[in-house]
Structures are given as C-alpha cells and as structure tokens.
Amino acid sequence: MKHKLLKDTTVHGKENHGQETVYEENTKSCEHEYGNHCLWSIEHREVMKDAIVKRLKDQLFMARAHYPTVAKLKQQERFTRELKQNIQEHERMLSDTITDADLPPFFAEKLEKMEHTIERAESCEVGCSNVERKLRQLLDITEDEAYFHTRQSAFLYHLGVQTMPKLTIA
C-alpha cells in the first residue's frame, strides 16, 4: 500500500498538534479487505488524544524488556531496584489513564526519569538476544492487537450499516 507522508497540522479541519499525517494514495487494497469502513475512517479521522500515554506505554515496554537482563547483572542491584520501581510507578500511573488529560500533574517528571533509566539500561553491557526476544514478543502482541482492532472496527461498522433503519423519502 502506498502512503504519502505530508506535514499537515490539520485533519478535516481539526488541529493535529504538529503531528505528521499519513494520507493513503491507494485505498483500493484497504477497501477490498475492510470495505467502506476505510473511507469512513479516513473521513472521520481525529486528533490523537493519547500521544503521551502511548509514549509512556512504549517506555514501559522498553523498561520491561531490559529488566530481566539488568536484574542478572552483578553489582547492579541498586539500579535493578530503581528500574523495578520506575516500572511499578509507570504501571500505577497508566492503570487509571486513558487519555493525556487523565495523566497526573507529575507525569513529565516520571517520563523524564524513565527516559534516563532506559538510557542507562541500554548502556549496560548485556547480551542483546534477551532484549531482542522480549521486544519481538511485545511487537507480535501489538501487531496482533492492531489487527484484531482493525477487524473489530470493520465488523462493527458493517453491523451498524446493516442495523441502521433505512430512510424513505416520500
């Protein structure tokens, strides 16, 4: 599927906060697989209201991927505890959060702290195979979830179309 990347700050008249927007040049394959849902989703695209939440979740994935390897290192007990504590703080913070507006006021501090912790974990000399395996697992799970949600969305769209009463013009 061809994509055309455009720097656009608005999507259908709604502010997109400087995020890049991907417009599909060829929607035929999408329409073939998911039907009119593709056209509807393009027309009703909205601004992401959870960009920071997604960034926090990405950090959590990265920290979880590094944790088992860092925990095995000798003379890194203090750092292991710090990494575990940061993971737990992120989990608590994200447990009640759906959109960026739900984030507690101190989220920026936690985000920065986790960023430094992940950088430090990446700088440790460890075997990459464990981290790579964990990240591959997370990628597979994420891809499966994305595919499921796309199929579910298409199904619900078609169900809505089928159950919507027909309007008759007199």
Q: What is the pTM of this model?
A: 0.53
Domain membership of residue 156 (yes or no) is no
**Torsion angles phi and psi, residue 93, rounded to 5:** -65, -40
**Token pair of 132, please?**
């790579």
- State how far the Cα of 52 lies from the Cα of 20, in Å rounded to an integer: 15
Whether 121 and 82 share a structural domain: yes
Stretch 119-144: mean pLDDT? 79
Whether 60 and 32 share a structural domain: no
Domain membership of residue 133 (yes or no) is yes
- Contact between residue 129 and residue 119 where contact means Cβ atoms under 8 Å apart: no
Whether 41 and 69 share a structural domain: no
Identify the three-state secondary structure at position 65.
helix
Q: What's the number of domains the chain is made of?
A: 2
Domain membership of residue 164 (yes or no) is no
Domain membership of residue 166 (yes or no) is no
Q: Which of 28-42, 50-64, 77-91, 116-130 has the lowest mean pLDDT?
A: 28-42
Domain membership of residue 157 (yes or no) is no
Give pLDDT tens digits for 53-85: 888 888 888 888 888 888 888 888 899 999 999
Alpha carbon distances (Å) from 108 to 6, 7, 38, 75, 88 = 29, 26, 35, 30, 16
Whether 88 and 116 share a structural domain: yes
Whether 25 and 59 share a structural domain: no
Residue 37, domain extent: 1-47
Domain membership of residue 147 (yes or no) is no
Give the pLDDT of residue 31: 59
Whether 58 and 38 share a structural domain: no
Work out whether the CA dihedral 13, 17, 20, 22 comes out positive or negative: negative
